[in-house]
Structure formats: structure tokens, C-alpha cells
Structure 1
Amino acid sequence: MDDPVTVTGTSGLVGAAVAAALDGAGWTVRGVDRVPGRWTDVVGDLRDPAVRDQVSGVVVHAAALHAPHVGRVADREFRRVNVEATAALLPAASRFVFISSTSVYGHALVPADRAVWVDELLTPRPRDVYDETKLAAEQLVADSGTDAITLRIARCFPEPPQVLATHLLHRAVRLPDVADAVVRAIRLPDVTGVFNIAGRYPFTRDDCPALHRDAAALITERLPDVARHFRERGWPLPGTIDRVYDSSAAEEALGYRPSTGWKSSGAAA
């Protein structure tokens, strides 16, 4: 672990969590971001060659424009930051861990007569420039010839307690679990490809029709403690659930073991 790991976006939520986890696991971390932060050593834009020259070895690329920037930032800027900067970083990396998003599935997440089971076999159907550019960057990573892995992470940003408690049932992930997945991806350089990184949820693919029809009934039957927590707080259980993220491929390939957020979602929220 003597060689440093370069993490981009270390002043952001995911990058900072990844840097802290790597530091705790014994790696030397070099952080790069456009703004200062606790884990940021190099302050600058990755499109600047002088900044990119400081990126080498194992690289975790978390820096990006995100969904909240859609409509506020020009599409061309999305392509420069999310695609062109990724392409420029790849040649210098010995191992490249690309932080993507389950958002790339886009329109494929819209249910018809059942909740959508979201594993890596689901074909992405981007709905905006964020999805388009993250998916384009994924393709660059896959085609680069670099030893690389792409992690499509589920939503892990702060949300109101009731919203978070609901999302932890089927589509959110704890930030420490994201960081743990990255650490595992670095420790297992032979593992390549694309993996969903989500929580551990109490549903199976066979539950998808019932989740779309009457999620509250299924939650009450399957998770009585969670239903009780919701009732105690005056929160309605969701009547329908539109999707369930599946990260079992990452569990098998990386030994990823997400926390079971739904067990404590009502109490902790």
C-alpha cells in the first residue's frame, strides 16, 4: 500500500468518503478537486494538463458534473467534464475505478405493470445529458485497454428522513458502503466490468408485480418492524415501488456486503 491512490472529486460527498476509507485502510491518498477540502491535496481543474500530470497509478475517478447541474450547466460543459476529462485521465492509470451512477438506466427505470428489477443486464436508456455523458464515459473506460472497473452507485446523498427511509428499502445506498465497494475494487485488480453498488433490500425479482400493485402490503408482511417504525412516525408506507436495484454481481465478484439499511431505516431516520 506504499503507492498512493489518486482520488478525484475529494471535496465532494463520494470522493471524500472514498478518500477517508482508503486512508483508514492504510493507503496513501492524493486528492484532486477544483475546490479545497479535507482530503484535497491538488486544487485545480482536471482539464488542465498541469493538474492531470499529478494523476497516476491507481485512480478513483469520482469528479463529475451531476444530475442537479442539468439545465444549469451547458451540455457542452457536461461533455468536457464528464467525458473528455475521463478520457484524458485513463492513459496515466495502472488501475482505474470509475464512479458512475445507476441514473444511466434512465427511461429503463420506468415501470409498466411491475417494478423494474435493475441489474447490469438492463439496457440503459439515458434521459438527459448527465446520463448520456456518464454512459459515454463508461464506454471510454471499457474500450481504453486500461485495467478498469466501473461502479454504478445508487443514490447516497442526504435526504429528508422519511424519503431516505423509503429509498433505503429499494434504491438508496449508505455512503460507507459505496466507499467500501471502492476499497474492494482496488484490492481486487483482476475484477473488471460494470457493477451496480446499492443497498441490500428485502425483495426478490418475483416480488416486482406485488411491489408495483401494493408495496405497502408486501412491506407490512415482509418487514413488520419497518412498518411499525413508519406508523410510529406518522409516515405512510409507499403504495408502489417503481424499481429495485440489484448489486448481487458486486457481492459475488468483489465480496461487497452492503449494510441492510431497511432494518434500521425507520428508527435511524
Structure 2
Amino acid sequence: MDGATKRASAGLATVTGSSGRVGSALAAALDAAGWVVRGVDRVPGRWTSVIGDLRDQPVRLAALQSADVLVHTAALHAPHVGRLADEEFRAVNVGVTAGLLDDAARLGARRVLYISSTSVYGHALVPTDRAVWVDEQLTPLPRDIYDETKLAAEELVAACAVSSVTLRISRCFPEPLPVRARHLLNRAVDVGDVAAAGVLAVTHSTVTGRFNISGPHPFHREDCLALSRDAGAVLTERVPDVVQAFRDQGWPVPDRLDRVYDSTAAANALGYRPVRGVRQLLRDAAGGPGR
């Protein structure tokens, strides 16, 4: 049944990219929170009721009709760099965003949530003498067409006529468990936490701006120098149980970490509290409860 035919007190949320990993997770979380979800994607999916290319205005209008909220996750991503022309990135990541924002405003949407990426920080993520502390005060320095177009879309969202918020999500795609565990120490997030952040961003309708969304990390800004020299020692001090669990699994404990993503601003503004960090992954790997 088309989500638009259902009724819920929270309102109607249009989710672009609803057949993808992040879009489908957001759609499910919004549905659980009482929203009617109308998904739009080029391919079928559990939450997708409008199938088509968002570069076509009739598709956008069908997706946005009567919507209270636009949640925009659809995009070309980093793996497409070098495989698709730069103009394709601009058409999809920037042109589609501009069209959606114009149509959403004209049709009466009252809230826009844009899903961006911590990748927009680009060259600013490269450490010098210490790990980079990545909060929203760090100036993005895009390194490729993906970063450029995601940042350009962020600017459109910030300037649009509708109340808007952007979430810059950190690494959250599937990876081998040892790699995933290492990244969850400092620069990754579980897609379930992304979905929870999205619901908060939609619910807190007066909060605007751009926020990093990452996992629950154990570090402080003053750790940055030590993390670049002996991350194992910092980890042993901060999370000895995690270090032991890595060893029990036969996974190497990193000796250096190059960056830490900080979600403090999202915690303060939205009440964001990630729960599926490296400890949960380790429990899952050991066969414990949690999934």
C-alpha cells in the first residue's frame, strides 16, 4: 500500500533513495516513529512507492505531493568517482537537490533533512603532527567531485526557504568485521544510529545547521597528539575491554589513528546518542546478544 494512503499524527515524510542502505533505514525509523513514509527511488524497495528518476520533475512532484517533510538521501557516491562524468555528479547531487528544494517549498513542506557526508572535509582530514579532531568548525576542503557536489548541495539546503538541517554522516557501509571494528573506534557509525539521528533531526523542527553524525567514540580532543604516536596506549587507557576484545578476536590494535569524528554538536542540539559502537560490534562478533 502506498504510504500516502495511510494516516499518522506525525505527518507525511518523503524519503529519497528509499531503496538504499541509508534511505531504507531512515524510512523504517520514521515509520516506527509514527510518520507516514513515501519513498522514491529508481529501483524497487520495501519503502519505495514512487519509482523514477528525480531529475524528472513529474517524479519529484509525485513524491512530494502533500509531504510535510523531505528527507533527501539519494545521491551519487564516492565509489562512482572516476566511473561517471563530473557533469553526472553535478546533475544528480546538485541539480536534483535544487529541484527538490524548489518543489518542496512550493508544495508546502515544512522541514528538509539532507543527508551529507563527513567526506566533504576532504583534504582537511589529512593529519600533520597529530590526529585531526573533526567537528563542524573544521573547514571543508573537497578533494574530488563527490565532495564538491555534496558540499554544494549542503549550501543549497542551508539557503532554502524551508526549515532545514544537514547531517554529515561518517563511514557506515558494510566492511569486513576487523576493518569495521577499527573504523568504529574513531570514524564510523552504524546505520541504525544514522536512522535515529534522522528521526531526531526531523522531530526537532526548529534546529537548523550542519551536524556530524558518528559513532560513540572514547576519545577527547587532547588525545589527538598521542593518537598519532601511540593509539594503542590511549585505547588501553580509555577502553581496555575493547583492546582485550580485539586481541581475543585476533584483530590488530591500531598503533596510530589519523582522525576522530566528533558528534558533540548533534548531541547538544538534537539529543543524539549513538548506541551501536565498537562494543556492540564486538558483542555481535563474539556471538552475544544485540542484533
Does the pair score TM above 0.5?
yes
What TM-score, normalized to structure 1?
0.97
C-alpha distance after superposition, 1:139-192 (max 9, x if no partner): 011112321000000111111000111111101111111001110111111000
Q: Which of the numbers 91, 94, 97 marks the counterpart of 1:86?
A: 97
Structure 1: gaps (5+ residues): none
C-alpha distance after superposition, 1:37-58 (max 9, x if no partner): 1110000001111101121431
Equivalent position SS for 1:221: helix
1:216 equivalenced with 2:232 (yes/no):
yes
In structure 1, C-alpha distance between the alignment counterparts of 2:179 and 2:268, rounded to whole Å: 29
Match of 1:203 in 2: 219
Match of 1:155 in 2: 171
The one-letter amino acid paired with 2:86 is D
Given that residues 229 and 267 in structure 1 are in contact (C-alpha distance below 8 angstroms), is that contact kept between their aligned partners in structure 2? Answer: no
Match of 2:87 in 1: 76
1:46 equivalenced with 2:54 (yes/no):
yes
1:1-269 superposed matches below 5 A: 1=9, 3-54=11-62, 55=64, 56-91=67-102, 92=104, 93-259=109-275, 261-269=277-285
The one-letter amino acid paired with 1:225 is D
Given that residues 109 and 116 in structure 1 are in contact (C-alpha distance below 8 angstroms), is that contact kept between their aligned partners in structure 2? Answer: yes
Kindly state the Cα deviation for residue 260 of structure 1 after the two structures are TM-superposed.
5.4
In structure 1, C-alpha distance between the alignment counterparts of 2:243 and 2:264, rounded to whole Å: 25
Alpha carbons of 1:218 and 1:77: their partners in 2 closer, same or farther (altered >3 Å)? same
Given that residues 178 and 251 in structure 2 are in contact (C-alpha distance below 8 angstroms), is that contact kept between their aligned partners in structure 1? Answer: yes
Match of 2:3 in 1: none
Equivalent position SS for 1:53: helix
What TM-score, normalized to structure 2?
0.90
Kindly state the Cα deviation for residue 263 of structure 1 after the two structures are TM-superposed.
2.5
Structure 2: gaps (5+ residues): 1-8, 286-291
Equivalent position SS for 2:274: coil
In structure 2, C-alpha distance between the alignment counterparts of 1:257 and 1:161, rounded to whole Å: 23
The one-letter amino acid paired with 1:212 is S
In structure 2, C-alpha distance between the alignment counterparts of 1:144 and 1:187, rounded to whole Å: 19
Alpha carbons of 1:242 and 1:2: their partners in 2 closer, same or farther (altered >3 Å)? closer
In structure 1, C-alpha distance between the alignment counterparts of 2:238 and 2:11, rounded to whole Å: 47
Query: Whose relative contact order is higher, 1 or 2, with alpha carbons under 8 Å and at least 6 apart?
Result: 1
Kindly state the Cα deviation for residue 259 of structure 1 after the two structures are TM-superposed.
1.1
Equivalent position SS for 1:200: coil
Identity across the alignment (%): 65
In structure 1, C-alpha distance between the alignment counterparts of 2:16 and 2:139, rounded to whole Å: 28
Given that residues 94 and 146 in structure 1 are in contact (C-alpha distance below 8 angstroms), is that contact kept between their aligned partners in structure 2? Answer: yes
Equivalent position SS for 1:41: strand
* 4+ long deviations beyond 4 Å: none
Equivalent position SS for 1:149: strand
The one-letter amino acid paired with 1:37 is G
